[in-house]
A and B are shown apart, each in its own frame.
Chain A
């Protein structure tokens, strides 16, 4: 089936199909309407599928790993399409992904599932604001990994330990002081780091 035939077929199922919008997406995704879908690359097939899902302007769009296995250029195109839907048209997009840098860029709200259970359900900005990735320096190297209240992950050796802490800067300094350490460096962790730490390094 060619791309244009696929669009024509899908159009019949959705009365709200917008032909002009579909044509615009076809051009933006740089798809050849005369090309057969089975001869397309994986990225082109993903774009074709996304085009068919977007063209009828759904209120809710559900995408299951939309950019998995795709090259960076195609991933960028797909993410930009998703951002456009959310920003310009005010529609809701629910998508699952293991590429957390994408989630961080695109998502307003993030839900983390671990072994079928929800372990995190919070706005993206809030989750980043509420976590700190800090480097603690100990006067005397502790025996074993230091235990800090509020820390989700601790890694390191000797006198310097890296900790991902869930809480404010003040709480971190208090907790560090209690174990005899001081904060020497800190930054905002990425979503990837936060979720890996909260998952405890186990699969989710």
Chain B
């Protein structure tokens, strides 16, 4: 007992140290709050001292996302084909996604560059980083990534609430379509993303995910390449029940209609040749939900056209 009593209590620290420590602790959260940190799709941390006010977007889909979350007014430069919404089309252009004009980007003095990891030349974007610009890499591969991208870009641009709401709306829309269609009888289909050479997509592609949530079965989903090239014979052999395609324009059914040459195809016999405007499904933007809804309805039509037993 005596041993315990003899333990000396350490002297209390002088009051000025206590005050200093408390002040530091108080100051800390303020400093962290002022700074914005997000992890981009390349796995790197992006820091901004304050929300970005001058943004250059290096892909049409990123421009569209920025406008969608309400940061459109802060965008000062885009790349060609940034045509949605209409206001985006009036912004200064800094080259095409595949070949950037570094001079123009630099001259716009952006505080944030939003880059498309697989679509922009990595050497040019790396050069922008070397020149001291802050770069956020985006690469939404799945619908869930897309919702995350909405939130992250909204945080970087100072509109986190609107971003969270838009992301939640997207997630909600996906859940609704999944609940309605994912468990319907499967529809074997071929999605044509390009003509000459004939190209489709596999299950890893975001369109593959849409096909899954609409209760479709991508006949070429198992192929290793993300965007496999096929011969027409492979499609004839697989005999899809439905053929869905984009086109070289927003209203150009020529690619899917071309399949009518093959009268033996189930898809042709049941008139299951469907067209979806490419900007609704082939761009990783929130509008993909509209494309998904269209696809789900088309597959439902195909189910209605089945002989009685198969519905």
Q: Do A and B come from one complex?
A: no
Residues on B facing A (Cβ under 8 Å): none
Residues on A facing B (Cβ under 8 Å): none
